[in-house]
Structure formats: C-alpha cells, structure tokens
A and B are shown apart, each in its own frame.
Chain A
Amino acid sequence: MKKLMLGNEAVARGAYEAGVKVATAYPGTPSTEITEFVAKYDEIYAEWSPNEKVAMEVAIGASIGGARAMVTMKHVGLNVAADPLFTVSYTGVNGGLVILVADDPGMHSSQNEQDSRYYARSAHIPMLEPADSQEAKDFVKFGFKLSEEYDTPVLVRMTTRISHSQSIVEIKERENIELKPYKKDIAKYVMMPGMAIKRHIVVEDRMNKLAENANSLEINRIEWGDKKIGIITSGIAYQYVKEALPEASVLKLGMVHPLPKKMIKKFAKEVETLYIVEELEPVIEEQVKSMGIKAIGKEIFSVQGELSVRKVLSAISKEEKKVINKEILPNRPPVLCPGCPHRGIYYVMNKLKLHATGDIGCYTLGALPPLDGIDTCVCMGASVGMAHGIEKARGRDFSKNWVGVIGDSTFIHSGITGLIDIIYNKGISTIIILDNSTTGMTGHQDHPATGKTIKGEPAPILNLVELSKAVGVKNVRVVDPFDLKEVEVVLKEETSKDEASVIIASRPCALLSKKKDPVYKITDSCVMCGLCLKLGCPAIEKQTNKVVINDALCNGCGLCTKVCKSNAIVREGE
C-alpha cells in the first residue's frame, strides 16, 4: 500500500516494521512527530524521557536487554546525549540500536545549525542519511540490520526538509523480531579502562570493515549521466541536485559515515569536474580532498543555511542570478499566542525593569518588543546556571535586578541541576518556572509533571514545589501569572531576598483548552494610553486613532482588562 507520509512519520513506520520494541525521545523540532507517531503503535513501548541523555540511556538499556530500540532527538539534543553516545560506540549493542537525530539547517526552530555528521565521525558510529520519506523508512530498517550485523549503534540523520516534507511511501508489515538472549559480558558492557582499551580496538576494526563494505552497499549508488559534471551528495541536497542538473552524474551517498572511498575514487576518475554538494559543514568534502582528489565544494557554497535548487544551479552552472526586486515589508515574527500565560509574567517583569536569563521554549518569544522579557537564550536549562553566574560575576545587589525564567518541561530537562548548584554554592537567584502544564513550543507533549505518559495513560505527577524545596530552596512561591498584582508583589519580595527563590507561575497553555471564552472589545472610554499594547497580544491592534481588539484572534483571557486604567475593555455584549 502506498501512502503520503511526513518524513517523521516514515521514520516511525520504519521503526514499527523493523520490530522495534522500545522507543524513547525528548521533543525537539524538527524531530518531535517521530515519537508521537511511534506511540500510536501498540506493539512499541514509547516514552518521553526527561531529557535526551536519559532517553539515550533507556534505549541503550533496552538494546543490551535484547530488544531493538530507537532514540530520537534534535541536533542540539545530541549534545545532551553525547556522553552515552561516545561510549555506547565502544560497548556496541545486543538488540539493534538506532539513534535518530534531526538537524535544522537554516535554523527554522533552533538556536544553532550544528552538523551532526561530526558526531558520527568523532564517536566512530556509522551514519545513514535519507533523502525522502521512503528512504527515511527504509534506512531506519536498514539501520537496525546494520546495527546487529556490525555490533554498533547506528545514527540516522534527518534534516528539517526531510522530516517535515511529505512524499510517497510503500507500507509493509511488521517483522517479527524475537528478543535476543541476554548474557552477562563485562568485557563488552563494563567500560572500565582495561575493558575499554580492548573495545576501542574492536571499534576501529568494525569501522574499517564497514568502510570497506560501504563500497558495495546498495544505499550508496552512482547515477551515471553526462560525465562533464560529477556531483557527490546526500540527503535533501541530492533532491536539489537532481532537479537543478538532471543531466549530471551523481554519486548519492546513503551512508555518510564511513565513506565508500573506492567508489568515490572511481567516480572522481571518470568525471571531468567533481563537485561536492552538502548542506552545512564540508564533512564529505574535506574527506574527499584528503584522499588527494580535486573537488569543488565550499568554494562556491556557503556553510550557512539551507541549499536550494536555485543555489545549486547558480553555483555550478554559473548562471547569472536573476535579481528579483522584493518589497521591504513588515516582518511577521512568531509571537506568544493570545491568552498565553507567559504574557502576565513578562508584563510585570517589564514594568519592574527586571533583567532575565532566558531559556528554550515558547517563552523565548518574549524576548522581542514590546515585552522585552529576556536578555539571554543559550540552551535548555541554561537560564538557571547563567543567573547564578551573573550573580557570582557582579555581586548580590546587581543580581537582585535579575531573574531566571524557564519552562516546566525545560526545568525538568536540565534546569533542576542548575538549581541544585545555586543552593549548594549559596546563590541568591530568583528562578521563575513558567509552568504551563505542557511542552508548548513543540506542540504539547506531556512530561513528568503533567500526569500523563506519551500514550495518554495516567502517571505520577512530579510536584515542582516539593522538588524545589527538596533541593533546599526555602522560598518557593506559586502565583497565577494573570494575577498581575500578586505577581508584582511576589517578584519584588523574592528578588530582594538574600536567599535563592523559586516562583512557580502556574497556568495551562492557552492552546490546551478547546473552549473559547467570550471575546473582549474596546469601548469609547479608551484614552489611547497604550498600556494594553505593552502586553504584545496579537489580538490587540493599534490603528490610526484607536486601539481595537481583533475578535477572530481574541481568546477571551481578559488579561488586558487588568492593565487598562480607564475600564475601557469589556466583554462583547456587555
């Protein structure tokens, strides 16, 4: 049966067909839907883990336990999971282990555009890179075979355009894969120096064998065309190449690490000019050039952002780029939704002129005017440690004008360790946990404090108040972010203390509730003071000589009525 599938759905289907038993992940664009789709299969145990490191460790455990296991994350998540990654390369696997990583060239929804292929090279783990949804499914299945055959974890690298594009996939049945027997083997699974030294030799042998066999792998293939131009490429770049230069000869790499050196040499010999077309870093290019082969790559392509058919065409055919006149238009940056609970906190922080170390989530959007809510955003959990660092650099008085803001899911992911540090090292930071009862930005995934698993089953609820107290925070306050008066009082009190504080701003994400409250409107009593505009609500619009509420966008949260001093905002119909 043929089906139109998102790349991410195809990955999930591949895991299902490959007989995967355990799948773990922490959500992150563009990888999130993979595990959501996996969770729909009753035959697979799936979980949202608190972070990528834990997800990786659970998958490693499942593999050693004899099951086929898959762990999924976005590129920056692999940094979090890098510690187990490098050593599971040494231990190898029992049941097949696929590590799925989704890169985000062009940074559609990320804080950097690092290239995960470097991880494959430095951890000595083979990496496959699909170029459409069918390959996404096939490569995941092939990854499991490869993993068991070579006793290695296998990385499968997606990029945003593969993850979030739909193309046609042929559906097959699930393979019946038995659990492999478990046998205690400390020489293989206990990585103390004595054992690890021996395993490192095994790893090098494995990679040499794989590199040799890469030359005959079906997923590495040459498509001969006109031999004037030869192009080595992989993943989405392959699609751009085929559309831009349908006549050219192409060496399509399905496995981007290790490279099929003989195949590359043969290809290079037969083509007149060799190009390497790859997004982001010159990973293939540098290896090809180090083989003494003349090739053109990043001389004509950028290491930044995504490629396109147009970029490939103009770089290789040196065709003049037609200049297209574009009008300069107001940007439409993503914004906090109408009714978003974060808005109340940022409004008060702005009023009190507080600075903030920020974190990764919807609330990062509060950085932009008019809320101007945060000063920094580095990575998951960083707000907490960074707030502490600001204090240690500039002293307590300076620090009292600062807070750290972090979401509930992000706090559990890696904020909690920073909080332990603040307490242990006598910090006085105030940390605000913006608890909207979900993982918002990635599209509402459950986490340990929501009371539900990925399969929708009830789960114990991690209590953030008790957790904060347990690590030694004496001042833990819970506020409703829409009670602006209380928020202001609590913020003033806690930031002035010579002790660390945690403020939990608790109100569910506006998108979680399906019910739409009656909308508000602005009456003639409006004096155009502009206070409501400072909320940065997309539903409140400034027009030439009035302010209006867009009834199609308003979700009826009523926060604007609390900042209006003229009582000019009333419910529709009142």
Chain B
Amino acid sequence: MNTKNILIVGVGGQGTLLTSRIIGDVVINKGYDVKMSEVHGMAQRGGSVVTHVKYGDKVYSPLVEERGADVLLAFEKLEALRWIHYLKEDGIAIVNDQEINPMPVIIGAEEYPEDIIEKIKENCKNTYIVDALSIAKNLGNIKVLNTILLGILAKYLGLSVDEWKDAIERVVPSKTIELNKKAFLTGYNLK
C-alpha cells in the first residue's frame, strides 16, 4: 500500500506523543513498515509540537512534507491553522476546537486570530471539528483528550476497533487502560 502520512500537532503537554505511540503499535502489528518523528526537549515547554507518523510497505523519510499529509490531527485550533498547508488537497483535518493562547497573545502583544475554524475550512474540504476537551471533562479526566481524538482518527484510518483497543492496552499505563478505552470508543462513535 502507499504510505499513509499523519501529522499530529498541538501544544507541549497535551499528550500528542501517547497518541502517536498507540498508532505506531497498531500499524506495526499489522506488519507495516512505520516511522514516526517526534519533538523532545525545548519544544515541549508549552511550545508548538508536531509528531509525524508514516506507515506503508516501505517508509524512508520519517517526516511528512508540506502538502504530504493524508490526515492532520490537531489538538489545538491555532496549531491546526499553522500546519494546514501540510495537508494534501484531499486530506482530512480533525481539529479539537480548543484555544490555548501562546505567550505573545497572553501578554497582549498579539491577538489570537478570529474565525480560525472558517480559515481551516477554506484551506481544507474535509474537516471534522470537535470539542474534545468538553467530552474529556465529562469523562472525568481532561488528560484523555488524546485518546478521544485518537478514536476519531481511528475511524478514518480503518482497522478494527479491537486492534486499537489491544494497542491501547499495550501502550498506556495499566491504571488508565479502562478510562482510555472508554475515551477511545467515545471518540470512535462520535458523529
């Protein structure tokens, strides 16, 4: 199969890395070649973070290129807009409708852009906007934001629900397996 390219973007501390680890676990078990590139160190401290996930028969570069992503999974909407040009023309943007102000906005030096969702839609025909933070709060833990979003992504990627649930069991800390599986299914069954 052709290489599938996923770009996961968000803000340091939102749990994007766990999401990519679960995807990696699923696709390696399907026998695909897979590469993932993630951000460590300085970029984690509340800055923009981006994780590249690529899988298929043979993957060379671990990085998704501009206009190369099949799916953009955005944990924050300003980050979605920042990376939207990485999507292929027919790519899908899954956007968590959450606003996290960057420092220049916090101190009033710049403004958080208005109508981000409209701008994302202008740049991308297939968008899925979701308020995953509220869903996570309803589930009782804002940290499962990432597995909710993963659930939505999983639906677009195909593969069986059981394969995803197995991967969650292998990757997340044992105490949080049930909660994460519940969050995953909530995301998967949305719409």
State A161–B45 Cα separation when bound (angstroms).
19
A527-555: contact bitstring with B at CB < 8 Å (1 yes, 0 no)? Answer: 00000010011101110000000101100
Q: Does B169 contact A (CB under 8 A)?
A: no
What is the CB-to-nearest-CB distance from B124 to chain A, in angstroms, rounded to a whole number?
Answer: 13
Q: Does B61 contact A (CB under 8 A)?
A: yes
CB neighbours of A300 from chain B (8 A)? none
Interface residues of B in 19-57 (CB under 8 A from A): 24-25, 28, 33-48
Tell whether A309 is near chain B: CB-to-CB under 8 Å: yes
Cβ 8 A contact of B107, one of A167, A324, A362, A542: A542
Asked whether A369 lies within 8 Å of B109 as measured between CB atoms, the reply is yes
Contact A29 B101 (CB under 8 A): no
Between B33, B46, B106, the greatest number of chain A beta carbons within 10 A of the residue's beta carbon is seen for: B106
Q: A243-B60, A330-B112 are in contact. Are A441 and B102 (CB under 8 A)?
A: no
Instruction: Mark A354-378 against chain B: 1 for CB-CB distance below 8 A, else 0.
Output: 0000000010010011100000000
Is B158's beta carbon under 8 Å from chain A? Answer: no
Knowing A322-B67, A326-B85, A332-B11 touch, does A164 contact B42 (C-beta < 8 A)?
no
The residue that B41 contacts in the complex, of A109, A166, A243, with Cβ under 8 A, is: A109
Q: Provide the residues of chain A in CB contact with B110, threshold 8 Å.
A: 330
A324-B102 Cα distance, complex, nearest whole Å: 24
Q: Is B36's CB under 8 angstroms from A29's CB?
A: no
- B108 sits at the interface (CB 8 A): yes
Which residues of A have CB within 8 Å of B106? 533, 536-538, 540-542
Main secondary structure of the interface of A (DSSP, over half): loop
In the complex, whether A225 has a CB less than 8 A from a CB of chain B is: no
- Contact present for A132 and B35 (CB under 8 Å): yes
Q: Is the CB of A164 within 8 A of B44?
A: no
Q: Does B15 contact A (CB under 8 A)?
A: no
Q: Does B105 lie at the interface of the complex (its beta carbon under 8 Å from any beta carbon of A)?
A: yes
Is B65 among interface residues, defined by CB-CB distance under 8 A? yes
Q: Which of A330-353 contact B (CB under 8 A)?
A: 330-337
Interface members, chain A 155-184 (any B CB < 8 Å): 161, 164-168
Q: Is the CB of B107 within 8 A of A166?
A: no
Selected contact of A327 from candidates B28, B37, B41, B119, CB within 8 Å: B119
**CB-CB < 8 A to B65: which residues of A?**
308-310
- In the assembled complex, A242 has its CB within 8 A of some CB on chain B: yes
**What distance in Å separates the Cβ of A198 from its nearest Cβ neighbour in chain B?**
44
Q: Taking the nearest CB of chain B, how far is it from the CB of A459, in angstroms?
A: 25
CB of B157 within 8 A of chain A? no
Do A333 and B35 have beta carbons less than 8 Å apart? Answer: no
Tell whether, in the assembled complex, residue A441 and residue B79 are in contact, meaning their CB atoms are under 8 Å apart: no
Select which of A168, A239, A541 is within 8 A of B61 by beta carbon.
A239
Q: Contact between B35 and A337 (Cβ–Cβ < 8 Å)? A: no
Interface residue? B179 (CB, 8 A): no
Give the Cβ gap from A222 to chain B, nearest Cβ, in Å. Answer: 17
Closest to B37 in A: A165
Other-chain residue from B41, B105, B119 in contact with A441 (beta carbon distance below 8 A): B41
Complex contact A4–B24 (CB within 8 A): yes
B85 touching A333, Cβ below 8 Å: no
Q: Which of B39, B46, B63, B67 contacts A108 (CB 8 A)?
A: B39
Closest to A237 in B: B61
Are A332 and B103 CB-contacts (below 8 A) given A4-B24, A109-B42, A326-B85? yes
* CA gap between A236 and B63 in the complex, in Å: 10
CB-based A-B contact count at 8 angstroms: 160
**Counting chain A CB atoms within 10 Å of each CB, which of B62, B65, B78 scores highest?**
B62
Q: Is the CB of B111 closer than 8 A to any CB of chain A?
A: yes
Which residue of chain B has the shortest Cβ distance to A167 in the bound complex?
B35
B82 in the interface (beta carbon within 8 A): yes
A30, A308, A553: the one contacting B40 at CB < 8 Å is A30
Known: A329-B113, A332-B47. A166 touches B104 (CB 8 A): no
Q: Is A33 an interface residue (CB 8 A)?
A: yes
Find chain B residues with CB under 8 A from A329 CB.
78, 81-82, 113
- Interface membership of A442, Cβ < 8 A: yes
Q: Does B66 lie within 8 Å of A310, measured CB to CB?
A: yes
Write the nearest CB–CB distance from B157 to chain A, whole angstroms. Answer: 17
Which residues of chain A come closer than 8 Å to B105, judged between CB atoms? 330, 541-542
A330 and B111 form a contact (CB under 8 A): yes
Tell me if A333 and B81 are in contact (CB < 8 A).
no
Given A370-B107, A533-B106: A243 touches B61 (CB 8 Å cut-off): yes
Q: Is A16 interfacial (CB-CB < 8 Å)?
A: no
Specify which chain A residues have a CB less than 8 angstroms from the CB of B34 in the assembled complex: 4, 166-168
**Docked pose: A104 CA to B104 CA in angstroms:** 26
Assess whether A4 is in contact with B142, with CB atoms less than 8 Å apart.
Answer: no
Min C-beta distance of B59 to chain A, whole Å: 8
Query: Does A240 lie at the interface of the complex (its beta carbon under 8 Å from any beta carbon of B)?
Result: yes
Q: Closest residue of chain A to B112, judged by CB?
A: A330
Given known contacts A243-B61, A334-B12, is B101 in contact with A442 (CB within 8 Å)? no
Chain A residues whose C-beta falls within 8 Å of the C-beta of B8 in the assembled complex: none
CB <8 Å contact, A369 and B107:
yes
Q: Are A334 and B42 interface neighbours, CB within 8 A?
A: yes
Residue from B39, B65, B103 having most chain A Cβ neighbours under 10 A: B103
With A309-B61, A310-B66 given, is the CB distance from A330 to B102 under 8 Å? yes
> In the complex, what residue of chain A is closest to B62 when comparing beta carbons?
A165
Residues of B within 8 A of A552 (CB): 133, 142
In the complex, whether A2 has a CB less than 8 A from a CB of chain B is yes
Which one of B35, B44, B47 lies within 8 Å of A166 (CB-CB)?
A: B35
A335 touches B43 (CB 8 A): no
- Given the complex, which residues of B lie within 8 Å of A32, measured CB to CB? 40-41
Is A443 part of the contact surface with B, judged by Cβ < 8 Å? yes
Q: How far is the CA of A168 from the CA of B28 in the complex (A)?
A: 8
Centre residue among A108, A167, A536 by max chain B CB count within 10 A? A167
- The contact of B24 among A166, A336, A362, A441, by CB within 8 Å, is A166
Given contacts A330-B112, A335-B46, contact A4 B102 (CB under 8 A): no
Asked if B48 contacts A332 (CB within 8 A), the reply is yes
* Residue with the highest number of chain A CB atoms closer than 10 Å, among B12, B65, B101: B101
Q: Mark B1-26, 1 if CB is under 8 A from A, else 0.
A: 00000000001110000000000110
In angstroms, how far is the closest chain B Cβ from the Cβ of A537?
A: 8
Contact B107 A443 (CB under 8 A): no
Determine if A334 and B38 form an interchain contact, defined as CB atoms under 8 angstroms apart.
Answer: no
A4 lies within 8 A of B28 (CB): yes
Residue of chain A at shortest CB distance from B106: A541
9 contacts between A and B (CB under 8 A): A29-B41, A132-B35, A166-B34, A331-B104, A332-B79, A334-B43, A334-B46, A441-B42, A552-B133
9 closest A-B pairs by CB: A29-B41, A109-B41, A334-B47, A109-B42, A332-B102, A165-B62, A334-B45, A243-B60, A330-B110
Interface residues of B (CB under 8 A from A): 11-13, 24-25, 28, 33-48, 59-63, 65-67, 78-79, 81-82, 85, 100-113, 119, 133, 142
Q: A242-B61, A324-B67 are in contact. List 12 more A-B contacts (CB 8 A).
A: A4-B25, A109-B40, A166-B38, A168-B33, A240-B60, A329-B82, A333-B104, A334-B44, A335-B46, A536-B103, A542-B105, A542-B107
